[in-house]
Structure 1
Amino acid sequence: MTDDAGTADTMRERAGENRLKLWLLLRANRLVVAGVLTVVVFVAFVIAANGLSPSLAEKLGAKDPIETLFSGMITAIVTGVTLVVTIGQLVLTQENGPLGDQRERMAGSMDVRGSIADLTGSPTPTDPAEFLEAILGTASARSRDLRAAVRERASGDDTTVGDDPKADAGVVALRDDVDRLAEAVVGNADAARGSLDGAQFGTFDVVFAALDFNYGRKIARTERVASEHAARLTERERVLLDELRESLSLFGPAREHVKTLYFQWALIDLSRLICYAAVPALIVAAVMVAAVDVGTFPGNTLGVAHVTLVVGGAFALTLLPFALFVSYVLRVLTLAKRTLAIEPLVLRDSAR
């Protein structure tokens, strides 16, 4: 589905990216992505170590690259965990502060909740998915009200006027523009609400569903309708158009707030997972340095030396913390790039 300005509604269509690539960067489970990266490293290592001349097994007979390799990995793991702890501290720093700062933070949040309650006419939901869904529902309802008001007047004008063809054409143009605007808002909002229904915060589903509502271009369209038909809009229609623009504008900060909370949640999860993975990775690296040599795993399978498989598997396992880091950072950076502009600015050539 595309809006009346020619810009796709869903984030995947706006980005113009390959479906598989976008799934890998955003939708795929991060643990699965990390696991796939680990397997790819293992396979690539075994192929390279066994295929190059001389092979890893032959090199082990002359010197010991195992100690050199895994000694470096021990240093890398310790340094990486230290970096992750630092990132976690930066995230937690935003949650700490004196009582006055916490009070201002709470007051600001409650003011926004009051604004959303006034907008929707009901208490603001506490669930993030329902929070966004309430704003989308209001935008959809207001676009329907605007369309109904313009259609009602256009229908009345069709039966009462006729001496001024230009005026008739202007009202018809207004009706057509509002119809297209309402169709874009209602269709896109209802689709996004369907994706938000039942989505739980902590997973990526809430944020991804919010990305599929292209509110920026719809705000721009309401501004064009107000400008191009300023002389034809009645006072009631102008109020309804302003109310629709207000609901669309409020969705931007709401989405950014939920996105920021997700960033913090994801970085905390990342820090915890890397700490979990670092302990077995250190054990594997230490065992490889202390206990494994050329004679520890004799023989071969399908032409691949057992020692090559063991070294490759151990190397892949020691890289697991790094694979977790890459999988999470890819999603965070991709999401940040797709949502750089909160206002109606188009940063992608494919969306212009």
Structure 2
Amino acid sequence: MGSAETDEPLESHGTDIGSQADSLTRVREWVLVEGDRTVIAASISLLVFGFFLGLIEIGIISVTNDDSVTRLAGGMIAGTFSLVTLVVSINQLILSQEFASGNDARDQLEGIMDIRSDIATQATVPATPASPTKLLELLIETIATQASELADTATAHDDEHSELIQRFVHSIEASTERTHDTLEHTTFGTFTAVSTAIGYDAAWQLYVARQLRGRYDDSSETATRLEALIETLELFLTAREHFKTTYLQRELTRFSQLTIYCGIPAVLAAMTLGLLYGGFSGTMISGSYLPYVVSALIAVVVSPLSLLASYILRTAAVTHRTASIGPMLPQKEPDAGPFEVSADGEPDS
């Protein structure tokens, strides 16, 4: 790698919050992770209603043939039952993670308490907050403080990597300020807290900090500051994974409940659709209202599928963005900077 003057800016290469550049990206982010899942599901059902109503109005499909509609209703009933069965299986999988023996429960508790103790030590506070959001805030504040102390130390000693460290610290300060402002106005009950924590690119910062740490002797004060920052970033990543898992368990449990709530009306709507054509003289309602009624019943039938789509979109997006832990960055280009490592394992400078 070239000198400090030719290094790439030490900025996040991940999904840092506040980086959406255009309206299309913001819409995509809202649909994938930020939007309320019930609103997304309702929107999908409304689109289905409009889609079928439009096809009927322009004459592409017809709802006057009782045989075809009743076959469709039968298929919908079978499909809805299959979907509900799938959701019950997902719910059983979630519940299986909650069952633990006494020893396993103790080990889990001790692990969580050890993490909280380490966070309290790093943040120099008597005890960590009970609220997950406040705990993440504390970690973000600690990262910002340690980064500022790192910059002061590097400047005071006027070492050869001072410029790199200053740029790195500037990037951290910008990220932590945005993240802290968002966390300050959210609670863990909403997805905003988890989304904000996921958006904070601690993995990239850990990668840079470890690269910078390798340029200093163990006796250096700057190395000591970097080690403290590295440990706090590792704690942040650990806490984020724990909270993400906890939230996704709650999210999938909520999805199971909503699917059951929608499953019963969906089955009844499919039955009603078939019974509409049960009269000897054809449909039981006027032909002018038939397209609206049929389209509405189909929208109700697909509501469990809409819920499945909305929740899977979010869980898949979250899992994709946190597929690796630590400075393993699959979203980075192979030749993306700012550091390279030579064949002998030493970072180029």
TM range (shorter): 0.7 to 0.9
Whether 2:137 is the aligned partner of 1:133: answer: yes
Q: Check the 8 A contact 2:137/2:183 in 1, yes or no.
A: yes
Structure 2 CA distance for partners of 1:216 and 1:3, relative to 1, 3 Å: farther
Whether 2:247 is the aligned partner of 1:262: answer: yes
Corresponding residue of 1:303 = none
Which of 284, 295, 311 is the aligned partner of 1:312?
A: 295
- How many Å separate the matches in 1 of 2:56 and 2:269? 19
Structure 2 CA distance for partners of 1:87 and 1:3, relative to 1, 3 Å: farther
User: How far 1:93 sits from its partner (Å)?
Assistant: 1.0
- How many Å separate the matches in 1 of 2:242 and 2:169? 26
Q: Any residues of structure 2 matched to 1:220-239 within 5 Å, and which?
A: 220-228=207-215, 230=216, 235-239=220-224
The number of aligned residues is 323
Corresponding residue of 1:328 = 311
Q: Check the 8 A contact 1:25/1:331 in 2, yes or no.
A: yes
Corresponding residue of 1:31 = 38
Q: Check the 8 A contact 2:14/2:204 in 1, yes or no.
A: no
Q: Check the 8 A contact 2:137/2:180 in 1, yes or no.
A: yes
**Structure 1 residue runs without a partner (length 5+):** 155-170, 301-305
Whether 2:166 is the aligned partner of 1:142: answer: no
Corresponding residue of 1:297 = 285
- How many Å separate the matches in 2 of 1:138 and 1:6? 19
Q: Check the 8 A contact 2:12/2:204 in 1, yes or no.
A: no
Corresponding residue of 1:10 = 16
Q: Give me the CA root mean square deviation.
A: 2.3
Structure 2 CA distance for partners of 1:222 and 1:327, relative to 1, 3 Å: same
Which of 92, 115, 121 is the aligned partner of 2:118?
A: 115
Q: Any residues of structure 2 matched to 1:1-352 within 5 Å, and which?
A: 4-5=10-11, 7=13, 10-11=16-17, 13=19, 18-52=25-59, 55-57=61-63, 59-60=64-65, 63-122=66-125, 123-154=127-158, 171=159, 173-228=160-215, 230=216, 235-292=220-277, 294-300=282-288, 306-349=289-332, 352=336
AA in 2 matched with 1:144: S
AA in 2 matched with 1:338: R
TM-score (normalizing by structure 1) = 0.85
Find the structure with the greater CA-based Rg. 1
Secondary structure at 1:64 match in 2: helix
Structure 2 CA distance for partners of 1:267 and 1:287, relative to 1, 3 Å: same
Q: Which digits, 9 at most, give the CA deviation of each residue in 1:58-81, with x for residues without a partner?
A: x42xx4222111111111111211
Q: Check the 8 A contact 1:199/1:205 in 2, yes or no.
A: yes
AA in 2 matched with 1:322: L
Q: Check the 8 A contact 1:220/1:344 in 2, yes or no.
A: yes
Secondary structure at 1:270 match in 2: helix
Q: Check the 8 A contact 1:37/1:323 in 2, yes or no.
A: yes
User: How far 1:125 sits from its partner (Å)?
Assistant: 1.2
User: How far 1:223 sits from its partner (Å)?
Assistant: 2.0
AA in 2 matched with 1:28: G
Q: Check the 8 A contact 2:255/2:311 in 1, yes or no.
A: yes
Q: Check the 8 A contact 1:202/1:265 in 2, yes or no.
A: no
Structure 2 CA distance for partners of 1:14 and 1:49, relative to 1, 3 Å: closer
Moved segments of 4+, more than 3 Å: 11-17, 291-295, 349-352
Structure with the largest fraction of helix = 1
Structure 2 CA distance for partners of 1:49 and 1:14, relative to 1, 3 Å: closer
Structure 2 CA distance for partners of 1:3 and 1:133, relative to 1, 3 Å: farther
- How many Å separate the matches in 2 of 1:235 and 1:26? 43
Structure 2 CA distance for partners of 1:38 and 1:14, relative to 1, 3 Å: closer
- How many Å separate the matches in 2 of 1:247 and 1:101? 27
Q: Which digits, 9 at most, give the CA deviation of each residue in 1:233-288, with x for residues without a partner?
A: 86222211111111112111111111101110100000000111111112222222
- How many Å separate the matches in 2 of 1:50 and 1:68? 21
**Structure 2 residue runs without a partner (length 5+):** 1-7, 337-349
User: How far 1:324 sits from its partner (Å)?
Assistant: 0.6
Structure 2 CA distance for partners of 1:15 and 1:244, relative to 1, 3 Å: farther
AA in 2 matched with 1:208: S
AA in 2 matched with 1:298: S
User: How far 1:12 sits from its partner (Å)?
Assistant: 6.7
TM-score (normalizing by structure 2) = 0.86
Q: Share of identical aligned residues, percent? A: 26
- How many Å separate the matches in 2 of 1:221 and 1:105? 31
AA in 2 matched with 1:281: A
